[in-house]
Amino acid sequence: MKVLLSGYYGFDNTGDEAILLAITRELKAMGHEPWVLSNNPDQTEAFTGAKAFPRMKPLGLLSALAGCQVLLSGGGGLLQDKTSSRNLTYYLTVIQTAKMLGKRVAVFNQSIGPLTEEGKKRIQGPLARTVNIVRDQKSKNLLESLGLQAHLGGDPALLLKPSKTLPRDPNRIVIAPRGDEKDITDRLKPVVRDLTARGFRVQIISFHPHVDDVAARALEQAGQNVEVLSTSDPQLALDQISAAGHVIGVRLHAVILAAAARVKFTGIHYDPKVEGFCDDALMPTFPRDFNPSELLHTIIRDARPDWTGVEAMTLRARESFRLAVEGK
């Protein structure tokens, strides 16, 4: 079957490209043909080997919807109106158009929200009589509170594997900031300073080049011999994370890729989706106004992780494909 993916693809965001890479690989392994709605179709085709269509051009969008058998809306945090109601309008319109054309539709391993009261009303119609698979318990609870059925899945990026075996260095700490969270970056500066003063090696990974780079450079200047990597390549980011002893993630997919590599992680929840993932993973999170000393203590005390939550999410992520695509 031709399975069309609707998400935030082709925008050079490592997290969303990680989701895309995992979904296209899994669909191909199942014998399906993935198609992608992308902001940069040529780049997406080169990256995934999947056929891509321009997401914002009506003819390209309609051609993709007409030619597919299944629409997967996701993954990611698409159904929210915190940043803009226009984003919510776009994704709901794609869902509704696919339904009008008689296609099988699944909301696929998304986090739902944050939503205004108006946003909550707007999703109820399009998501009724739809296979709704969410990646965290908080999102499942939200949909059920709105009278919508939901299945608990997992982020597809959990299915990615490092491309090579790198020696793990327990004294190497990876930090993934967000460029639009200056207050969090400022609170991370003394953490970087104290970690490097204690002999830890710190690497800052910018998951969204040109957006996170300023925050990454600010943290680079906070400590001694801090490395910076700016990339939108999820495989490269995963390989770097797999060699670390601990990951501090403001970016959600920094902690998700850490989970995929079974590297200890701590989330900074600027958004409910970070808290939701870390809660389900049984891993620590800190609020955006965290105490730097408390975060530092969490890193250096080196507690033994409990991977049962991550293993359960990974299994649900894998099983969610057949439910979404084939209804099994």
Indicate the average pLDDT of the chain.
97
pLDDT surpasses 80 at 302: no
- Residue 167 in any domain: the answer is no
Same domain, 137 and 274: no
Same domain, 284 and 216: yes
Same domain, 90 and 191: no
- Residue 321 in any domain: the answer is no
The fraction of the chain above a pLDDT of 70, given in percent, is 100
Same domain, 14 and 141: yes
- Residue 158 in any domain: the answer is no
Average pLDDT over residues 27-32: 98
Tally of domains in the chain: 2
pLDDT of residue 196: 98
Same domain, 11 and 125: yes
Of residues 25, 252, 208, 320, the one with CA closest to residue 36 = 25
Handedness of CA 210, 171, 278, 134 (dihedral sign): positive
Same domain, 11 and 41: yes
pLDDT surpasses 90 at 301: no
Same domain, 41 and 147: yes
The fraction of the chain above a pLDDT of 90, given in percent, is 95
- Residue 216 in any domain: the answer is yes
Task: Report how far Cα 267 is from the mean position of its chain's Cα atoms.
Answer: 13
pLDDT digits (tens, 9 = 90+) for 154-165: 999 999 999 987
Full domain range(s) for residue 226: 172-311
Q: Is 241 in contact with 167 (CB distance < 8 Å)?
A: no
Average pLDDT over residues 70-82: 95
Indicate which CATH number applies to the domain containing 24: 3.40.50.720
Same domain, 115 and 218: no
Q: What are phi and psi of 252, to 5 degrees?
A: -55, -45
Q: Kindly report the pTM of this predicted structure.
A: 0.95
Same domain, 209 and 306: yes
Of residues 163, 119, 162, the one with CA closest to residue 142 = 119
Same domain, 73 and 178: no
Indicate which CATH number applies to the domain containing 259: 3.40.50.2000
Handedness of CA 49, 242, 188, 218 (dihedral sign): negative
- Residue 270 in any domain: the answer is yes
- Residue 323 in any domain: the answer is no
Same domain, 143 and 194: no
pLDDT digits (tens, 9 = 90+) for 135-145: 999 999 999 99
Same domain, 106 and 31: yes
pLDDT of residue 120: 98
pLDDT digits (tens, 9 = 90+) for 51-74: 999 999 999 999 999 999 999 999
pLDDT of residue 141: 97
- Residue 317 in any domain: the answer is no
Q: What are the angstrom distances between the C-alpha of 244 and each of 39, 108, 159, 173, 262?
A: 32, 30, 19, 6, 10
- Residue 322 in any domain: the answer is no
pLDDT digits (tens, 9 = 90+) for 237-259: 999 999 999 999 999 999 999 99
